Amino acid sequence: MTLHSFPHNFLWGAATASYQIEGAWNEDGKGESIWDRFSHTPGKISDNSTGDVACDHYHRYQDDIALMRRLGLKAYRFSTSWTRALPLGRGRLNPSGLDFYDRLVDALCAANIEPFLTLYHWDLPQALQDEGGWENRNTCHAFADYAALLVKRLGDRVKYWTTFNEPSVVALDGNLMGEHAPGLQDPRVAFQVAHHLMVAHGLAVQAIRAANPSLEVGIVLNLWGADAASEDPADVAAANVAWERSETHFLDPLFKGHYAPYAYELLGDNMPKIQDGDMALIAQKLDTLGVNFYSRNLITADGNIDPVPGSEYTEMGWEVCAPALRRLLNRINKEYRLPPIYITENGAAFKDEVSADGKIHDPRRLDYLKNHFIQTRLAMQDGVDVRGYFVWSLLDNFEWGHGFTKRFGIVRVDYETQQRTIKDSGEWYADVIKNNTVME
Ligand code: FCB
């Protein structure tokens, strides 16, 4: 047996996002977001569900924090709903919405759980979308004002701040593929959105620092990496091109101060409008980088291998390949000058069954997490500075276009009764946290 011990202050946590768990979509003065509008549009969500109630976390946050204590979480990553704070995205405040996050943060602090707050996990105010959404540069300024408002309210207790969760998903799934809100399919818009998300990030970093210079500020990117299928030079070259195309679009501007040369070739007429000063604004020094990792791309000179023969797949259709996480961490660590890294999401959707004893035996999820924890520890031994790990997700929840059909939680949610049950993977995770060690 091998024991993988982690540094004593390693931040073990779990993650969620406002729209996926809160529910209470129109309560206590909350405004409509693009995800409210999208999920209410027939045909957009595979099981015709909405996040109107979701896990009802808005009303049950105290119970959920009690669960976090039972798991022994040291940190909790959540996102704030912009329209709870500012129903129209700017202007009039909604005091009850701000009070909710106040109470949530107080309860986390009382439970000795470090709050790790994301300002934007995809639920843009619909009122701003009506003015063009992220295609409209004014939205960037509204976002910076919203960031400053939240920091003034919560910055005395919340130390870790994330501007955006997964800008590429916002730009591409929402505005190119149309599978996420706002459901557009327009390459020109999508790449302008991508650039404006970066501008908004830069403005928000400035606003957060101006409001409170002692905070840790970062961004969260979803990275897949691009593994070459063999050492054949043609496969290696193809994998390098795939890396450039899939992974550098945000890493380069954030950490090198310019877009990758490929972007100009690839985007052609769809290259966004960039104003003087934008690149310096985007490349401000950060305190953290969040990496969301679920799966990898496997590349040959003839294209992607998918499915990979012999590999295990999750319910999302994503290949399970933990060693790819170690390779990815080493690669970004070598190619960029990065701040400390947090794995801000990692986890797996599997079909869970409640057994006769009422338990949820989910060995595949447990193994998935175990192997990814070990590969992260190995990457740390290779020299990558990883400070914490957030399992996706604390709770089964509303998985965007898939509705409630994909369960990622280490805690099961019965959506009829809202009953929560810690799965085997959750019990196992509690032991990992308690011992600060993963047993192989
Ligand atoms: C990520 C999202 C998160 C969740 C997981 C499965 O892309 O950030 O909200 O949906 O995927």
How does pLDDT run across 83-100, given as a tens digit for each residue?
999 999 999 999 999 999
Question: Phi and psi for 302 in degrees, rounded to 5?
Answer: -95, 5
- The answer to whether 345 is a known catalytic residue is yes
**Distance (Å) from CA 231 to ligand 1 centroid:** 32
Long-range residue pairs from 328-332, CB within 8 A, at least 24 positions apart, any chain: 328/223, 328/224, 328/225, 328/291, 328/293, 328/296, 329/291, 329/376, 329/379, 329/382, 329/384, 329/386, 330/379, 330/382, 330/383, 330/384, 331/225, 331/243, 332/223, 332/247, 332/251, 332/291
Q: Which residues contact 43 (CB under 8 A, 6 or more apart)?
A: none
Name the helix (H) or strand (E) containing 161.
strand 160-165
CA of 165, closest atom in ligand 1: 8
Alpha-carbon torsion angle 262, 263, 264, 267, nearest 10: 120
Tell me if 17 CB under 6 Å of ligand 1. Answer: yes
**DSSP assigned state of 354:** B
Which long-range contacts link 374-377 to residues 24+ away (Cβ below 8 Å)? 374/4, 374/322, 374/438, 374/440, 375/322, 375/323, 375/325, 375/326, 376/325, 376/326, 376/329, 376/343, 377/4, 377/6, 377/438
Query: How far is Cα 76 from Cα 18, in angstroms, rounded to an integer?
Result: 13
CA proximity to 161, closest of 176, 174, 144: 144
| pLDDT for position 375 | 98
**Residues in the chain, pLDDT under 50:** none
Instruction: Report the pLDDT value the prediction gives residue 54, as an integer from 0 to 100.
Output: 99
Residue 212: the pLDDT is: 98
Residue 169 beta carbon below 6 angstroms from any ligand 1 atom: yes
16's tokens: 């969620």
- Count of helices and strands (H, E) across the chain: 16, 15
Active-site annotation holds for 166? yes
* pTM confidence score: 0.98
Predicted confidence at residue 421, as pLDDT, reads 98
Whose C-alpha lies nearest to ligand 1, atom 9? 17
Choose, from 166, 216, 319, 399, the residue flagged as catalytic. Answer: 166
378 CA distance to ligand 1 middle (Å): 25
Q: What is the CA(6)–ligand 1 centre distance, in A?
A: 25
